Protein backbone atom coordinates (compact mmCIF):
# COMPACT_ATOMS: atom_id res chain seq x y z
CA UNK A 1 0.00 0.00 0.00
CA UNK A 2 3.04 2.31 0.21
CA UNK A 3 2.73 3.07 -3.48
CA UNK A 4 -0.85 4.22 -3.04
CA UNK A 5 0.22 6.38 -0.09
CA UNK A 6 2.91 8.08 -2.14
CA UNK A 7 0.58 8.71 -5.04
CA UNK A 8 -1.92 10.19 -2.63
CA UNK A 9 0.69 12.38 -1.03
CA UNK A 10 1.72 13.82 -4.36
CA UNK A 11 -1.65 14.15 -6.01
CA UNK A 12 -4.43 14.28 -3.47
CA UNK A 13 -4.80 18.05 -3.34
CA UNK A 14 -4.98 18.30 -7.12
CA UNK A 15 -6.79 15.10 -7.87
CA UNK A 16 -9.08 15.67 -10.79
CA UNK A 17 -10.38 13.56 -13.66
CA UNK A 18 -7.75 15.22 -15.86
CA UNK A 19 -4.93 13.94 -13.61
CA UNK A 20 -5.62 10.38 -14.69
CA UNK A 21 -5.58 11.36 -18.32
CA UNK A 22 -2.15 12.95 -18.20
CA UNK A 23 0.86 11.04 -19.45
CA UNK A 24 3.01 12.73 -16.85
CA UNK A 25 0.90 11.30 -14.05
CA UNK A 26 1.34 7.77 -15.36
CA UNK A 27 5.06 8.26 -15.89
CA UNK A 28 5.39 9.37 -12.28
CA UNK A 29 3.29 6.46 -11.03
CA UNK A 30 5.29 3.94 -13.03
CA UNK A 31 8.49 5.49 -11.73
CA UNK A 32 7.28 5.22 -8.16
CA UNK A 33 6.25 1.61 -8.73
CA UNK A 34 9.75 0.76 -9.94
CA UNK A 35 11.43 2.20 -6.90
CA UNK A 36 12.87 -0.56 -4.70
CA UNK A 37 11.07 1.01 -1.74
CA UNK A 38 7.70 0.31 -3.30
CA UNK A 39 8.51 -3.05 -4.75
CA UNK A 40 6.07 -5.73 -3.60
CA UNK A 41 7.62 -8.49 -1.57
CA UNK A 42 6.46 -11.27 -3.89
CA UNK A 43 7.78 -11.43 -7.45
CA UNK A 44 4.34 -12.45 -8.65
CA UNK A 45 2.85 -9.27 -7.19
CA UNK A 46 5.37 -7.21 -9.13
CA UNK A 47 4.06 -8.78 -12.31
CA UNK A 48 0.41 -8.12 -11.50
CA UNK A 49 1.15 -4.58 -10.34
CA UNK A 50 2.97 -3.79 -13.57
CA UNK A 51 0.16 -5.36 -15.58
CA UNK A 52 -2.61 -3.43 -13.87
CA UNK A 53 -0.71 -0.16 -14.00
CA UNK A 54 -0.14 -0.60 -17.71
CA UNK A 55 -3.70 -1.68 -18.46
CA UNK A 56 -5.19 1.14 -16.38
CA UNK A 57 -2.89 3.70 -17.97
CA UNK A 58 -3.79 2.44 -21.43
CA UNK A 59 -7.47 2.57 -20.55
CA UNK A 60 -7.24 6.20 -19.40
CA UNK A 61 -5.13 7.18 -22.37
CA UNK A 62 -7.50 5.20 -24.55
CA UNK A 63 -4.78 3.25 -26.33
CA UNK A 64 -7.32 0.58 -27.25
CA UNK A 65 -11.08 0.24 -26.85
CA UNK A 66 -12.08 -0.02 -23.20
CA UNK A 67 -14.58 -2.61 -22.02
CA UNK A 68 -16.05 -2.40 -18.53
CA UNK A 69 -16.47 -5.75 -16.83
CA UNK A 70 -17.76 -7.11 -13.54
CA UNK A 71 -16.20 -9.76 -11.35
CA UNK A 72 -17.23 -12.76 -13.47
CA UNK A 73 -16.77 -11.26 -16.94
CA UNK A 74 -14.16 -13.51 -18.59
CA UNK A 75 -11.11 -11.34 -19.20
CA UNK A 76 -10.00 -13.88 -21.86
CA UNK A 77 -12.91 -12.78 -24.04
CA UNK A 78 -12.02 -9.10 -23.83
CA UNK A 79 -8.26 -9.50 -24.20
CA UNK A 80 -8.66 -11.95 -27.06
CA UNK A 81 -10.84 -9.44 -28.88
CA UNK A 82 -8.15 -6.79 -28.65
CA UNK A 83 -9.76 -4.60 -25.99
CA UNK A 84 -8.72 -3.48 -22.52
CA UNK A 85 -10.83 -4.97 -19.75
CA UNK A 86 -11.52 -2.48 -16.98
CA UNK A 87 -13.08 -3.62 -13.72
CA UNK A 88 -14.77 -0.68 -11.99
CA UNK A 89 -15.56 -2.82 -8.93
CA UNK A 90 -11.79 -3.11 -8.46
CA UNK A 91 -11.46 0.63 -8.93
CA UNK A 92 -13.88 0.98 -6.01
CA UNK A 93 -11.64 -1.25 -3.88
CA UNK A 94 -8.61 0.87 -4.81
CA UNK A 95 -10.52 4.07 -3.95
CA UNK A 96 -11.41 2.51 -0.59
CA UNK A 97 -7.79 1.54 0.08
CA UNK A 98 -6.80 5.13 -0.62
CA UNK A 99 -9.49 6.42 1.75
CA UNK A 100 -11.34 8.14 -1.08
CA UNK A 101 -14.49 6.04 -1.23
CA UNK A 102 -16.75 8.19 1.00
CA UNK A 103 -16.44 11.14 -1.34
CA UNK A 104 -17.61 9.09 -4.31
CA UNK A 105 -20.32 7.31 -2.36
CA UNK A 106 -21.70 10.70 -1.37
CA UNK A 107 -21.70 11.72 -5.01
CA UNK A 108 -23.78 8.65 -5.86
CA UNK A 109 -26.19 9.56 -3.05
CA UNK A 110 -26.70 12.97 -4.66
CA UNK A 111 -27.81 11.10 -7.75
CA UNK A 112 -30.29 9.25 -5.48
CA UNK A 113 -28.55 5.89 -5.27
CA UNK A 114 -29.47 5.15 -1.66
CA UNK A 115 -27.26 3.59 0.98
CA UNK A 116 -29.05 0.24 0.78
CA UNK A 117 -27.15 -0.68 -2.37
CA UNK A 118 -23.73 -2.32 -2.42
CA UNK A 119 -21.05 0.29 -1.78
CA UNK A 120 -18.72 -1.15 -4.44
CA UNK A 121 -21.30 -0.03 -6.94
CA UNK A 122 -22.23 3.22 -5.23
CA UNK A 123 -18.55 4.11 -5.12
CA UNK A 124 -17.94 3.27 -8.77
CA UNK A 125 -21.09 5.13 -9.79
CA UNK A 126 -19.85 8.18 -7.90
CA UNK A 127 -16.43 7.89 -9.55
CA UNK A 128 -18.10 7.64 -12.95
CA UNK A 129 -20.40 10.58 -12.30
CA UNK A 130 -17.40 12.70 -11.35
CA UNK A 131 -15.58 11.64 -14.50
CA UNK A 132 -12.82 9.76 -12.70
CA UNK A 133 -13.02 6.51 -14.64
CA UNK A 134 -11.80 5.77 -18.16
CA UNK A 135 -14.76 6.02 -20.56
CA UNK A 136 -16.02 2.65 -21.75
CA UNK A 137 -16.57 1.84 -25.41
CA UNK A 138 -18.69 -1.10 -24.36
CA UNK A 139 -19.90 -2.62 -21.11
CA UNK A 140 -19.94 -6.35 -20.62
CA UNK A 141 -21.61 -7.63 -17.48
CA UNK A 142 -22.39 -11.13 -16.28
CA UNK A 143 -25.69 -11.74 -14.48
CA UNK A 144 -23.78 -13.19 -11.50
CA UNK A 145 -22.61 -13.04 -8.77
CA UNK A 146 -25.16 -10.33 -8.07
CA UNK A 147 -27.79 -8.11 -9.61
CA UNK A 148 -25.76 -4.97 -8.93
CA UNK A 149 -23.56 -5.14 -12.03
CA UNK A 150 -26.21 -5.55 -14.75
CA UNK A 151 -28.30 -2.89 -13.04
CA UNK A 152 -25.63 -0.27 -12.42
CA UNK A 153 -24.09 -0.97 -15.83
CA UNK A 154 -27.47 -0.16 -17.39
CA UNK A 155 -27.25 3.28 -15.79
CA UNK A 156 -23.63 3.63 -16.88
CA UNK A 157 -24.41 2.54 -20.43
CA UNK A 158 -26.83 5.48 -20.63
CA UNK A 159 -24.36 7.82 -18.95
CA UNK A 160 -21.59 7.05 -21.44
CA UNK A 161 -23.90 6.22 -24.36
CA UNK A 162 -22.05 2.95 -24.74
CA UNK A 163 -23.62 -0.41 -25.62
CA UNK A 164 -24.24 -2.88 -22.82
CA UNK A 165 -24.01 -6.64 -23.24
CA UNK A 166 -25.21 -8.88 -20.45
CA UNK A 167 -23.94 -12.44 -20.54
CA UNK A 168 -26.46 -14.70 -18.88
CA UNK A 169 -24.99 -17.76 -17.26
CA UNK A 170 -27.58 -20.54 -17.19
CA UNK A 171 -28.64 -22.42 -14.08
CA UNK A 172 -26.76 -25.68 -13.48
CA UNK A 173 -27.98 -28.57 -15.59
CA UNK A 174 -29.21 -26.40 -18.49
CA UNK A 175 -27.05 -27.64 -21.36
CA UNK A 176 -28.89 -25.61 -23.99
CA UNK A 177 -28.25 -22.56 -21.88
CA UNK A 178 -24.50 -23.14 -22.14
CA UNK A 179 -24.81 -23.14 -25.94
CA UNK A 180 -26.85 -19.94 -25.85
CA UNK A 181 -24.25 -18.35 -23.60
CA UNK A 182 -21.48 -19.36 -26.01
CA UNK A 183 -23.46 -17.73 -28.81
CA UNK A 184 -23.90 -14.56 -26.81
CA UNK A 185 -20.18 -14.51 -26.01
CA UNK A 186 -19.42 -14.79 -29.74
CA UNK A 187 -21.74 -11.85 -30.37
CA UNK A 188 -20.01 -9.77 -27.67
CA UNK A 189 -16.55 -10.76 -28.98
CA UNK A 190 -17.51 -9.65 -32.49
CA UNK A 191 -18.76 -6.33 -31.17
CA UNK A 192 -15.46 -5.85 -29.31
CA UNK A 193 -13.38 -6.94 -32.30
CA UNK A 194 -15.35 -4.44 -34.35
CA UNK A 195 -14.15 -1.75 -31.95
CA UNK A 196 -10.53 -2.88 -31.93
CA UNK A 197 -10.46 -3.43 -35.69
CA UNK A 198 -9.68 -7.15 -35.49
CA UNK A 199 -10.97 -9.26 -38.33
CA UNK A 200 -12.72 -12.55 -37.59
CA UNK A 201 -9.55 -14.60 -38.06
CA UNK A 202 -7.42 -12.31 -35.94
CA UNK A 203 -10.09 -12.32 -33.28
CA UNK A 204 -10.27 -16.12 -33.23
CA UNK A 205 -6.47 -16.31 -33.02
CA UNK A 206 -6.48 -13.75 -30.24
CA UNK A 207 -9.10 -15.72 -28.35
CA UNK A 208 -7.31 -18.99 -28.71
CA UNK A 209 -4.07 -17.43 -27.46
CA UNK A 210 -5.99 -15.95 -24.53
CA UNK A 211 -7.49 -19.33 -23.67
CA UNK A 212 -4.07 -20.96 -23.95
CA UNK A 213 -2.57 -18.41 -21.56
CA UNK A 214 -5.49 -18.83 -19.21
CA UNK A 215 -4.91 -22.60 -19.20
CA UNK A 216 -1.29 -22.02 -18.30
CA UNK A 217 -2.31 -19.77 -15.43
CA UNK A 218 -4.73 -22.45 -14.27
CA UNK A 219 -2.00 -25.09 -14.23
CA UNK A 220 0.20 -22.93 -12.02
CA UNK A 221 -2.73 -21.87 -9.85
CA UNK A 222 -3.35 -25.52 -9.11
CA UNK A 223 0.30 -25.87 -8.00
CA UNK A 224 -0.14 -22.81 -5.80
CA UNK A 225 -3.21 -24.36 -4.25
CA UNK A 226 -1.41 -27.60 -3.47
CA UNK A 227 1.32 -25.68 -1.70
CA UNK A 228 -1.14 -23.52 0.18
CA UNK A 229 -2.64 -26.64 1.70
CA UNK A 230 0.61 -27.35 3.53
CA UNK A 231 0.87 -26.44 7.19
CA UNK A 232 3.92 -24.32 6.62
CA UNK A 233 2.79 -22.30 3.62
CA UNK A 234 4.19 -18.80 3.78
CA UNK A 235 1.44 -17.07 1.87
CA UNK A 236 -1.15 -15.42 4.09
CA UNK A 237 -4.69 -15.07 2.87
CA UNK A 238 -4.85 -11.42 3.84
CA UNK A 239 -2.41 -10.81 0.97
CA UNK A 240 -3.71 -13.58 -1.27
CA UNK A 241 -7.20 -12.09 -1.13
CA UNK A 242 -6.06 -9.32 -3.45
CA UNK A 243 -5.40 -12.00 -6.06
CA UNK A 244 -9.09 -11.98 -6.76
CA UNK A 245 -8.22 -9.15 -9.14
CA UNK A 246 -5.71 -11.36 -10.96
CA UNK A 247 -8.22 -14.16 -11.27
CA UNK A 248 -10.84 -11.74 -12.57
CA UNK A 249 -8.78 -9.43 -14.70
CA UNK A 250 -5.52 -11.05 -15.84
CA UNK A 251 -6.48 -14.44 -17.17
CA UNK A 252 -5.83 -14.57 -20.87
CA UNK A 253 -2.75 -12.36 -20.60
CA UNK A 254 0.91 -13.31 -20.35
CA UNK A 255 0.95 -11.56 -16.97
CA UNK A 256 -1.75 -13.88 -15.64
CA UNK A 257 0.28 -16.97 -16.55
CA UNK A 258 3.51 -15.41 -15.21
CA UNK A 259 1.83 -14.36 -11.99
CA UNK A 260 0.83 -17.88 -10.98
CA UNK A 261 4.06 -19.42 -12.29
CA UNK A 262 6.14 -17.06 -10.18
CA UNK A 263 3.91 -17.51 -7.17
CA UNK A 264 4.24 -21.29 -7.40
CA UNK A 265 8.02 -21.02 -7.83
CA UNK A 266 8.45 -18.66 -4.95
CA UNK A 267 6.28 -20.69 -2.61
CA UNK A 268 8.44 -23.68 -3.46
CA UNK A 269 11.62 -21.68 -2.79
CA UNK A 270 10.51 -20.00 0.41
CA UNK A 271 9.36 -23.29 1.81
CA UNK A 272 8.80 -23.79 5.48
CA UNK A 273 8.28 -21.08 8.03
CA UNK A 274 7.48 -23.69 10.61
CA UNK A 275 4.62 -21.89 12.29
CA UNK A 276 1.63 -23.64 13.68
CA UNK A 277 -1.51 -21.78 14.44
CA UNK A 278 -5.18 -21.51 13.81
CA UNK A 279 -6.14 -22.08 10.21
CA UNK A 280 -8.97 -19.80 9.10
CA UNK A 281 -11.03 -19.56 5.93
CA UNK A 282 -12.29 -16.15 4.81
CA UNK A 283 -15.60 -15.79 3.03
CA UNK A 284 -16.55 -12.88 0.79
CA UNK A 285 -14.13 -9.95 0.69
CA UNK A 286 -12.32 -7.86 3.28
CA UNK A 287 -12.59 -4.20 4.27
CA UNK A 288 -10.04 -2.64 1.93
CA UNK A 289 -9.44 0.41 4.15
CA UNK A 290 -8.47 -1.31 7.39
CA UNK A 291 -5.96 -3.86 8.59
CA UNK A 292 -7.36 -4.24 12.11
CA UNK A 293 -9.01 -7.58 11.51
CA UNK A 294 -5.75 -9.07 10.28
CA UNK A 295 -3.80 -7.62 13.18
CA UNK A 296 -6.20 -9.32 15.55
CA UNK A 297 -5.84 -12.59 13.67
CA UNK A 298 -2.08 -12.30 13.86
CA UNK A 299 -2.19 -11.52 17.56
CA UNK A 300 -4.04 -14.78 18.11
CA UNK A 301 -1.67 -16.75 15.93
CA UNK A 302 -4.39 -17.26 13.33
CA UNK A 303 -3.74 -17.31 9.60
CA UNK A 304 -6.04 -17.16 6.60
CA UNK A 305 -5.21 -20.30 4.68
CA UNK A 306 -7.89 -19.97 2.02
CA UNK A 307 -10.35 -17.42 0.74
CA UNK A 308 -13.59 -17.91 -1.09
CA UNK A 309 -12.80 -16.17 -4.37
CA UNK A 310 -9.20 -17.02 -5.22
CA UNK A 311 -9.36 -20.67 -6.18
CA UNK A 312 -9.55 -22.64 -9.40
CA UNK A 313 -13.09 -23.76 -10.00
CA UNK A 314 -12.94 -24.72 -13.66
CA UNK A 315 -11.21 -27.19 -15.94
CA UNK A 316 -8.67 -26.46 -18.67
CA UNK A 317 -10.33 -25.09 -21.81
CA UNK A 318 -10.03 -25.92 -25.48
CA UNK A 319 -8.19 -23.08 -27.26
CA UNK A 320 -9.66 -24.21 -30.59
CA UNK A 321 -13.15 -23.76 -29.27
CA UNK A 322 -13.04 -20.62 -27.14
CA UNK A 323 -16.72 -19.70 -26.84
CA UNK A 324 -18.12 -23.03 -25.61
CA UNK A 325 -15.06 -23.41 -23.37
CA UNK A 326 -15.50 -20.00 -21.79
CA UNK A 327 -19.25 -20.56 -21.50
CA UNK A 328 -18.62 -23.77 -19.57
CA UNK A 329 -16.08 -22.06 -17.36
CA UNK A 330 -18.50 -19.29 -16.50
CA UNK A 331 -21.56 -21.54 -16.25
CA UNK A 332 -19.75 -23.83 -13.83
CA UNK A 333 -18.78 -21.05 -11.43
CA UNK A 334 -19.85 -21.71 -7.88
CA UNK A 335 -21.60 -18.36 -7.63
CA UNK A 336 -23.91 -19.17 -10.53
CA UNK A 337 -27.35 -20.44 -9.55
CA UNK A 338 -28.72 -21.47 -6.20
CA UNK A 339 -26.65 -21.23 -3.01
CA UNK A 340 -26.03 -24.98 -2.90
CA UNK A 341 -23.02 -24.59 -5.16
CA UNK A 342 -21.49 -21.79 -3.15
CA UNK A 343 -22.06 -23.73 0.04
CA UNK A 344 -20.46 -26.92 -1.25
CA UNK A 345 -17.51 -24.93 -2.63
CA UNK A 346 -16.96 -23.49 0.84
CA UNK A 347 -17.31 -26.82 2.61
CA UNK A 348 -14.86 -28.37 0.14
CA UNK A 349 -12.32 -25.59 0.74
CA UNK A 350 -12.73 -25.92 4.49
CA UNK A 351 -12.02 -29.65 4.28
CA UNK A 352 -9.13 -29.47 1.82
CA UNK A 353 -7.41 -26.68 3.71
CA UNK A 354 -8.19 -28.29 7.08
CA UNK A 355 -9.45 -25.08 8.61
CA UNK A 356 -10.14 -24.65 12.30
CA UNK A 357 -12.70 -21.94 11.76
CA UNK A 358 -14.30 -19.75 9.12
CA UNK A 359 -15.23 -16.07 8.96
CA UNK A 360 -17.92 -14.65 6.71
CA UNK A 361 -17.63 -10.93 6.20
CA UNK A 362 -21.13 -9.64 5.53
CA UNK A 363 -20.71 -6.72 3.19
CA UNK A 364 -23.73 -4.46 3.65
CA UNK A 365 -26.00 -4.48 0.59
CA UNK A 366 -24.54 -7.63 -0.93
CA UNK A 367 -27.65 -9.75 -1.20
CA UNK A 368 -25.79 -12.62 -2.81
CA UNK A 369 -23.21 -13.18 -0.09
CA UNK A 370 -25.12 -12.02 3.02
CA UNK A 371 -28.13 -13.82 1.60
CA UNK A 372 -26.50 -17.21 1.62
CA UNK A 373 -24.29 -16.68 4.69
CA UNK A 374 -26.71 -18.45 7.08
CA UNK A 375 -26.78 -21.51 4.81
CA UNK A 376 -23.01 -21.52 4.49
CA UNK A 377 -22.66 -21.20 8.24
CA UNK A 378 -25.08 -24.07 8.84
CA UNK A 379 -23.29 -26.38 6.42
CA UNK A 380 -19.85 -25.50 7.79
CA UNK A 381 -20.96 -26.04 11.37
CA UNK A 382 -22.37 -29.43 10.38
CA UNK A 383 -18.98 -30.20 8.85
CA UNK A 384 -17.42 -29.34 12.21
CA UNK A 385 -16.13 -25.90 11.26
CA UNK A 386 -17.08 -23.16 13.73
CA UNK A 387 -18.16 -20.13 11.75
CA UNK A 388 -18.43 -16.45 12.57
CA UNK A 389 -20.48 -13.97 10.58
CA UNK A 390 -19.44 -10.36 11.00
CA UNK A 391 -21.35 -7.41 9.58
CA UNK A 392 -19.45 -4.64 7.91
CA UNK A 393 -18.73 -2.89 4.66
CA UNK A 394 -15.79 -3.53 2.35
CA UNK A 395 -15.70 -0.05 0.88
CA UNK A 396 -17.29 2.51 3.20
CA UNK A 397 -15.33 2.88 6.43
CA UNK A 398 -18.12 4.95 7.93
CA UNK A 399 -20.19 1.78 8.11
CA UNK A 400 -17.50 -0.19 9.89
CA UNK A 401 -17.90 -0.63 13.64
CA UNK A 402 -14.31 -1.38 14.51
CA UNK A 403 -14.91 -1.97 18.24
CA UNK A 404 -17.79 -4.32 17.66
CA UNK A 405 -15.95 -6.29 15.00
CA UNK A 406 -12.90 -6.61 17.24
CA UNK A 407 -14.88 -7.84 20.26
CA UNK A 408 -16.70 -10.51 18.27
CA UNK A 409 -13.58 -11.61 16.45
CA UNK A 410 -11.52 -11.87 19.63
CA UNK A 411 -14.24 -13.93 21.32
CA UNK A 412 -14.47 -16.23 18.31
CA UNK A 413 -10.72 -16.79 18.11
CA UNK A 414 -10.56 -17.48 21.83
CA UNK A 415 -13.27 -20.09 21.45
CA UNK A 416 -11.24 -21.88 18.78
CA UNK A 417 -8.20 -22.36 20.95
Partner 1 sequence: MDEDLITWFCAYTPLELLTAAGLKPVRSFGDPDRIDDSDAFLHPAICPYVRSCLAQAMQEEGPHHAVFVNSCDGMRRLHDAWKDLFPDGFVFLLDLPRNVGKSGERMLAGEYRHLLEALRSWRGREISHAEIKAACRAREELRREYIRAAEGAGGGERLLLARHFQSAPQDAASPAATRGPAATAPGAGRGVPVLLTGNILNPAGMVSLLEEAGARVVWADLCNGDRAFAAPTLAEGESLGEVLGALAAAYLARPHCARMLDGERRHRTLVENALRAGARGIIYASLKFCDSYLYEYPRTREMLQREGIPVLRLESDYADGHAGQVLTRVEAFLEMIS
Write out the residues near partner 1 by the rule CB under 8 A: 111-114, 116-117, 121, 143, 146-148, 150-152, 154-155, 158, 164, 166, 168, 170-171, 173-174, 176-177, 180, 183-184, 337-340, 362, 364-365, 367-368, 370-375, 378
The residue (of 263 and 373) whose beta carbon lies closer to ligand SF4 is: 373
Measured distance CA(187)–CA(171) in Å, rounded: 21
Measured distance CA(53)–CA(48) in Å, rounded: 8
CB–CB of 370/257 below 8 Å? Answer: no
397: DSSP letter:
G
Query: Closest Cα to residue 283, out of 375, 219, 218, 220?
Result: 375
**Count of residues touching ligand SF4 (by CB under 6 A):** 11
Which residues inside 77-96 make contact with ligand SF4, applying CB under 6 A? 89
The residue (of 146 and 247) whose beta carbon lies closer to ligand SF4 is: 146
Q: How many C-beta atoms lie closer than 10 Å to residue 237's C-beta?
A: 24
Q: How many C-beta atoms lie closer than 10 Å to residue 59's C-beta?
A: 23
Query: Of ligand SF4, partner 1, none, which one does residue 111 interact with (CB within 5 to 8 Å by kind)?
Result: partner 1
Which residues inside 282-321 make contact with ligand SF4, applying CB under 6 A? none
Report the nearest approach of partner 1 to the CB of residue 56 (Å): 25
C-beta pairs of 399-405 under 8 Å, 24+ apart in sequence? 399/119, 399/364, 400/287, 400/289, 400/290, 402/290, 402/292, 405/292, 405/293
146 binds ligand SF4 (CB under 6 A): yes
Which residues inside 351-370 make contact with ligand SF4, applying CB under 6 A? 363, 366, 368-369
Report the nearest approach of partner 1 to the CB of residue 60 (Å): 25
Helix H or strand E segment including 352: helix 339-352
Query: Of ligand SF4, partner 1, none, which one does residue 164 interact with (CB within 5 to 8 Å by kind)?
Result: partner 1
The residue (of 253 and 362) whose beta carbon lies closer to partner 1 is: 362
The residue (of 373 and 409) whose beta carbon lies closer to partner 1 is: 373
Report the nearest approach of partner 1 to the CB of residue 12 (Å): 28
Helix ranges restricted to H, 243-312: 244-249, 254-270, 292-299
104 binds ligand SF4 (CB under 6 A): no
256 binds ligand SF4 (CB under 6 A): no
118 binds ligand SF4 (CB under 6 A): yes
Measured distance CA(144)–CA(149) in Å, rounded: 8
120 binds ligand SF4 (CB under 6 A): yes
The residue (of 209 and 368) whose beta carbon lies closer to ligand SF4 is: 368
The residue (of 121 and 220) whose beta carbon lies closer to partner 1 is: 121
CB–CB of 311/237 below 8 Å? Answer: no
325 binds ligand SF4 (CB under 6 A): no
DSSP string, 215-247: HHHHHHHHHHHHHHTSTT----HHHHGGGHHHH
Query: Of partner 1, ligand SF4, none, which one does residue 372 interact with (CB within 5 to 8 Å by kind)?
Result: partner 1
The residue (of 174 and 270) whose beta carbon lies closer to partner 1 is: 174
Whether the link from the prior residue into 145 is cis, omega within 30° of 0, is yes
Classify burial at 154, counting beta carbons within 10 Å of its beta carbon; exposed 0-12, middle 13-18, buried 19 or more.
middle
169 binds ligand SF4 (CB under 6 A): no
Residues that bind ligand SF4 (CB under 6 A): 89, 118, 120-121, 145-146, 148, 363, 366, 368-369
Amino acid sequence: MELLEQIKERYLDRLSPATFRSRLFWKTVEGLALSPLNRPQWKADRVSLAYFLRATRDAYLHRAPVVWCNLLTPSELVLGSGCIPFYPEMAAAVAASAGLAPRFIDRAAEEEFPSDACSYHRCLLGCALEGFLPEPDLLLAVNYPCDSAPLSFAFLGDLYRAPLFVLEAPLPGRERGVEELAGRMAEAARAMAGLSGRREREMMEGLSTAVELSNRALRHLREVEEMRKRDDCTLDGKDAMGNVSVLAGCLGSQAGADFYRLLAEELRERGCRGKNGLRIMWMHLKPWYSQTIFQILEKHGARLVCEEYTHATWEAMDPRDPFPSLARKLGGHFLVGAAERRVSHLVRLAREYRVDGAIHYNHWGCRQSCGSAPLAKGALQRAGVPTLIIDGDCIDDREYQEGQVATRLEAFLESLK
